[in-house]
Amino acid sequence: MSTRVTIERMGAGGDGIAATSAGSAYVPFSLPGEVANVALEHGRATLMALLEPSPERIAPACRHFEECGGCALQHWQNSAYQNWKRSLVQDALAGRGLAFTLDPLVPCVPHTRRRAVFAVRTSEHGAVLGFNRHLSHELIDISECPVTVPEIVSRLDDLRDLVAVLGGGMKPFKLTVTSTASGLDITASGCAAPDAAKRQALTGLVLKKDFARLSFEGEIIVEPRKPIIHFGKVPVFLPAGGFLQATVDAEEAMSALVTGHLAKAKKTIDLFCGSGTFALRIAEKSAVHAVEGDQAAVAALDRSVRYVQGLKPVTVERRDLFRRPFLARELAPFAGLVFDPPRAGAEAQAIEIAKSSVSKVVAVSCNPVTLGRDLSILVKGGYKIDRVVPIDQFLWSSHVEAVALLSKK
Annotated binding site: 245, 272, 292, 340
pLDDT score, position 218: 87
Q: State yes or no: pLDDT of 42 exceeds 90.
A: no
The enclosing domain of 42 has a CATH number of 2.40.50.140
Sheet holding 360-365, edge to edge: 314-318, 287-292, 267-271, 336-339, 360-365, 401-407, 384-391
Span 42-60, average pLDDT: 93
Are residues 382 and 316 located together in one domain of the fold? yes
Domain assignment present for 239: no
Cβ-proximal residues to 335 (8 Å cutoff; 6+ apart), any chain: 264, 265, 266, 267, 268, 358, 359, 360
Name the 3-class secondary structure at 86. helix
SS3 298: helix
Q: Does the pLDDT of residue 356 top 90, yes or no?
A: yes
Distance CA 402, CA 171 (A): 37
What does the pLDDT read at residue 43? 78
Q: What positions carry a catalytic annotation? A: 366
Q: Which residues are annotated as a binding site for S-adenosyl-L-methionine?
A: 245, 272, 292, 340
- pLDDT tens digits for range 75-93: 999 999 999 999 999 999 9
205: containing domain:
115-228
User: What is this structure's pTM?
Assistant: 0.94
State the average pLDDT over residues 135-159.
Answer: 96
What lies within 8 Å, CB to CB, of 227 at 6+ separation is: 178, 180, 181, 182, 183, 185, 212, 213, 237, 238
Residues 393 and 266 in one domain: yes
Kindly list the distances between the CA atom of residue 235 and the CA atoms of 92, 281, 363, in Å, as whole numbers in the listed order: 36, 11, 25
Band (pLDDT 50/70/90 cuts) for residue 168 is low
In angstroms, the Cα distances linking 53 to 5, 35, 127 are 12, 7, 37
Question: Residues 353-376: what's their mean pLDDT?
Answer: 98
103 lies in the same domain as 208:
no
Instruction: Note whether 89 and 134 are same-domain residues.
Output: no
Query: Mean of the pLDDT values across residues 16-31?
Result: 93
Give pLDDT tens digits for 199-230. 999 999 999 999 999 999 989 999 999 999 99
The span from the CA of 88 to the CA of 85, in Å, is 5
pLDDT at residue 313 greater than cutoff 90: yes
Confidence class for position 126, pLDDT limits 50, 70, 90: confident
Q: What is the CATH number of the domain that holds 202?
A: 2.40.50.1070
